[in-house]
Amino acid sequence: MNMPTSGPRVLLKRLREVMAESLGAQDRLDKIVRHIAANMVAEVCSVYVLRSDGVLELFATEGLNPGSVHEASLKIGQGLVGTIASTARPLNLSDAQHHPAFAYLPETGEEIYNSFLGVPILRAGRPLGVLVVQNQAQRNYRDDEVEALETTAMVLAELIAAGQLEGLDKKGAGLDLSRPQRLEGVALADGIGLGYVVLHEPRVLVTNLFNENAEFETRRLHESLGKLRISIDDMLERPDVARDGEHREVLETYRMFANDRGWVRRMEEQIVNGLTAEAAVEKVQSDNRARMMRQSDPYLRERLHDFDDLAYRLLRELVGKPHGPLKEKSTRDYIVVARNMGAAELLDYNGPQLRGLVLEEGAPTSHVVIVARALGIPVVGQVQNVLSLADTDNAIIADGLDGEVYVRPTEEIQSAYSEKVRFRAKRQEIYDKLRDEPAVSKDGVAVNLLMNAGLLMDLPNLERSGAKGIGLFRTELQFMVASHMPRPNEQENLYSAVLEAAGSLPVTFRTLDIGGDKVLPYMRHEQEENPALGWRAVRLSLDRPGLLRPQIRALLKAAANRELRVMIPMVSETREITAVRKLINREVELLTRFGHSVPRRLAVGAMIEVPSLLFQLDELMQAVDFVSVGSNDLFQFMFASDRGNPRIAKRFDPMSRPFLRALRRIVDAAARFDTPLTLCGEIAGKPISALALLGIGFRSISMSAVYIGPVKAMLIETDIARLEQALLPELDKPSGGQTMREFLTDYAAQNGIPY
Ligand code: PEP
Ligand code: MG
């Protein structure tokens, strides 16, 4: 009988033999790279080990110039190898030299190799090095080859962690976790948080890789799967979960996945190949992560993310440390650090000691970020490497204003930030005192200060902030944080709760604004070249009455016998308003016919977010009961400047003449037709830009609840008539001299207006 000479089982057997031989660490490493090269028919196999100073040093190679061992090196994040270490993800390239991250190391002689497959060497989630194979011919490595290399990387992690490799300093391999680190990311939710690191997924160290008895390991796997299923069922029984719709959905998805045959089979296969149960779980989990990275479909990405979380829970079952964060809450202030997490998972951590969230991924529209904003905690996202550099109980600062993170900050940094936090708290006390003061300017002009909301947890802020109503209720948030399409009764329940909380204060509900950057994971959608300009908001709603009609019905029922204000997002032409109005009227008719009560008064408004409306303002004002400027989108479209792209975030200024002139035209048109006007974009919440809005004639603005105080403090000190006199002539000046922002800050400073 011919014995196989390659494949995962043979490779594992070989590795096991090498680990059992009495060899020095370096010899073992050399032997392993030779075996891998032979097993995978690769011309090159190399191991790079991460030193404590963040440099990846070539420690062994088969195929590259032997003289480059211990000579060739790359910094973490640099070149393909450095990228793999910093992202903790594999790279599989058929034409490596043309990859944007490629960095040429002349001493290695690698210029003749085109194909490249590299995997991170991880121990408990932390990078210790990178394992690479290369071939001259252009080829894509198969999935089973990626798997074989990952398995080898697990073995190498043990070898490196044993600490016997020469040439590493006292601290051994891996990054130095005692030094202070300042990391840059993207500010996703306002505020500053100081505390200690809580890792969302505390590291689980799998040291026992090779099994002695596959049957025994398979049994262990199934026992733990059984316990996992029971623990999910238990959580579903918990009274708080039973109540909380958003959280429940996630757990139900987990329950479904915990019974997924394909997942279980892949783990069983790894055990048959020779791994222990925990190594098999970890192995399948890293395959999943690699697939997750390649997956551009947001729906499938979310599903793979759920699997990732579940695999992690299973791993904790196997090593006897069942999943903790739900129960174990820290007794001191903490900041949660994660690669990414679901919205419901963040709610598990909520409590007075939760001070911030730091993510390696995360975007302004991530569900978890939306929820964090509602909870009022700062979030810094896209912080590369933070999981490798931060450890449980390290001191950490999350600066959600500047998008910075300090891990193990120095005393100076800590005290500077503590001072900042104290200062902000003092200011907040002043704002709290203003809560019941009327929102009236120094010269007696009343201004309507409203708040933006979208989740149940926003509602207590209505009273806390002293807002005079909800100027923008983003109904899509309920859809975005759920794991399934909210049913009509769930929509109605939310709208009723909102109206009840608002009492006699007005609430403006915006119909679904999905599409573009607001993706529903459970709704199939086609990839679009320019999603922001694509099939979204009212365009999608009108094409899918099956979505809009139940929402309108839920709104009409929730607002029975009171006023209902409905606002349409992303209107481009007035006939879209007519179409929505028609649909609403038909629903009113139907409800009345079936004996339901309907709202006492109905107001239909449009958001001004698309520049085309600026050239049909007269028609628009006559077609609606009110308008509200969505300045975030209006600005993005007027300046052709993606609102979510940090590279251009500060390039153009909404406080510039062209944009303020456009807003002024809207104010004039609204006044001509006596159409109520509000503005509900981010600029309403910054005192300096709100000052500009007052100066050009806005008397109603809507913002996040936290900004009501600062804006009111500005308003009280402003003489609006004087401001108008000074500002309007400035608007007509050519650019080149003082910018509008400079003019406004000077004006505020000279007139004692806090901004
Ligand atoms: C806006 O575009 O200004 C707006 C308020 O809507 P959103 O931020 O939800 O797109
Ligand atoms: Mg918008």
Of 485 and 448, the structure prediction assigns the larger pLDDT to: 448
193 and 83 share one domain? no
Residue nearest to atom 6 of ligand 1 (CA): 630
Separation of CA 609 and ligand 2 centre (Å): 6
Atom number in ligand 1 closest to CA 629: 3
Residue 367 has pLDDT above 90, yes or no: no
Separation in Å, CA 733 to CA 418, 679, 698, 745, 747: 43, 24, 21, 17, 16
107-149 pLDDT, tens per residue?
888 888 999 999 999 887 778 999 999 999 998 898 888 888 8
Q: How confident is the model at residue 1 (pLDDT cuts 50, 70, 90)?
A: very low
Separation in Å, CA 746 to CA 95, 726, 735, 754: 56, 12, 17, 11
Q: How confident is the model at residue 250 (pLDDT cuts 50, 70, 90)?
A: low
Token pair in block for residue 289: 């992560």
Q: Does 427 map to a domain? A: no
- Hey, which of 680, 682, 701, 707 would you mutate to test ligand 1's pocket, going by the most ligand atoms within 8 Å of its Cβ? 680
- Which of 285, 319, 353 terminates a domain? The answer is 319
The one-letter code for the residue type at 341 is M
Ligand nearest to the CA of 681: 1
Buried b (16+ CB within 10 A) or exposed e, 713-743: bbbbbbbbeebeeebeebbeeeeeeeebeeb
Q: Does 350 map to a domain? A: yes
- Hey, which of 451, 473, 513 would you mutate to test ligand 1's pocket, going by the most ligand atoms within 8 Å of its Cβ? 513
Packed helices 488-502 and 545-558: angle between N→C axes, nearest 10 degrees: 40
- Which of 319, 346, 366 terminates a domain? The answer is 319
494 and 520 share one domain? yes
- pLDDT, residue 421, reads 94
334 and 230 share one domain? no
240 and 120 share one domain? no
User: Which domain CATH number covers 475?
Assistant: 3.20.20.60
Separation of CA 451 and ligand 1 centre (Å): 13
516 and 497 share one domain? yes
329-344 pLDDT, tens per residue?
568 999 999 988 877 7
Q: How confident is the model at residue 243 (pLDDT cuts 50, 70, 90)?
A: low
Residue 183 has pLDDT above 80, yes or no: yes
Ligand 1 pocket by Cβ (under 6 Å): 472, 474, 513, 609, 630-633, 680-681
Atom number in ligand 1 closest to CA 636: 2
63 and 128 share one domain? yes
Atom number in ligand 1 closest to CA 681: 3
Q: Does 1 map to a domain? A: no
- Hey, which of 369, 608, 632, 682 would you mutate to test ligand 1's pocket, going by the most ligand atoms within 8 Å of its Cβ? 632
382 and 454 share one domain? no
Q: Which of 230, 699, 686, 223 is nearest to 441 (CA)?
A: 699
DSSP state of 381: E
User: Which domain CATH number covers 123?
Assistant: 3.30.450.40
Separation of CA 369 and ligand 2 centre (Å): 17
- pLDDT, residue 612, reads 98
Ligand nearest to the CA of 477: 1
535 and 515 share one domain? yes
In a 3-state reduction of DSSP, which class is residue 508? strand
Domain count, the chain: 4
315 and 331 share one domain? no
How far apart, in whole angstroms, are the C-alpha atoms of residue 398 and residue 401?
Answer: 9
707 and 598 share one domain? yes
How far apart, in whole angstroms, are the C-alpha atoms of residue 142 and residue 608?
Answer: 51
Q: Say if residues 357 and 397 touch (Cβ distance below 8 Å).
A: no
31-53 pLDDT, tens per residue?
999 999 988 889 999 999 999 88
- pLDDT, residue 324, reads 53
Separation in Å, CA 610 to CA 114, 538, 569: 48, 12, 9
Residue 174 has pLDDT above 70, yes or no: yes
Q: Does 209 map to a domain? A: no
- Per the prediction, the chain carries an average pLDDT of 89
Q: How confident is the model at residue 327 (pLDDT cuts 50, 70, 90)?
A: very low
Separation of CA 121 and ligand 1 centre (Å): 43
Q: Which residue has the tokens 């290695």?
A: 108
- pLDDT, residue 546, reads 94
Separation of CA 473 and ligand 1 centre (Å): 11
Residue 564 has pLDDT above 70, yes or no: yes
Ligand nearest to the CA of 632: 1
Separation in Å, CA 615 to CA 219, 523, 573, 630, 732: 71, 34, 10, 16, 19
| DSSP E strand boundaries for 586-633 | 601-608, 626-629
Return the sign of the alpha-carbon dihedral for residues 496, 501, 506, 510: negative
Q: Does 430 map to a domain? A: no
- Hey, which of 474, 628, 637 would you mutate to test ligand 1's pocket, going by the most ligand atoms within 8 Å of its Cβ? 474
Atom number in ligand 1 closest to CA 633: 2
223-236 pLDDT, tens per residue?
999 998 888 888 77
Q: How confident is the model at residue 326 (pLDDT cuts 50, 70, 90)?
A: very low
Residue nearest to atom 1 of ligand 1 (CA): 630
- HSE value, Cβ hemisphere, 13 Å, CA-based, for 555: 29
User: Which domain CATH number covers 188?
Assistant: 3.50.30.10
Q: Which of 133, 147, 110 is nearest to 38 (CA)?
A: 133
Write out the residue range of the structural domain in which residue 560 sits: 437-750
- Which of 388, 421, 454 terminates a domain? The answer is 421
143 and 96 share one domain? yes
Token pair in block for residue 653: 């200024």
How far apart, in whole angstroms, are the C-alpha atoms of residue 127 and residue 88?
Answer: 7
Atom number in ligand 1 closest to CA 630: 3
Separation of CA 569 and ligand 1 centre (Å): 8
Q: Does 148 map to a domain? A: yes
Count of residues in the chain: 755
506 and 543 share one domain? yes
- pLDDT, residue 300, reads 67
Separation of CA 16 and ligand 1 centre (Å): 58
Q: Does 444 map to a domain? A: yes
Q: Does 176 map to a domain? A: no
Separation of CA 488 and ligand 2 centre (Å): 24
Separation of CA 724 and ligand 1 centre (Å): 26
DSSP string, 544-598: -HHHHHHHHHHHHHHTTTSEEEEEESS--SHHHHHHHHHHHHHHHHHHHHTT---
Biggest CA–CA distance in the chain, Å, is 98
Atom number in ligand 1 closest to CA 682: 3
Residue nearest to atom 4 of ligand 1 (CA): 630
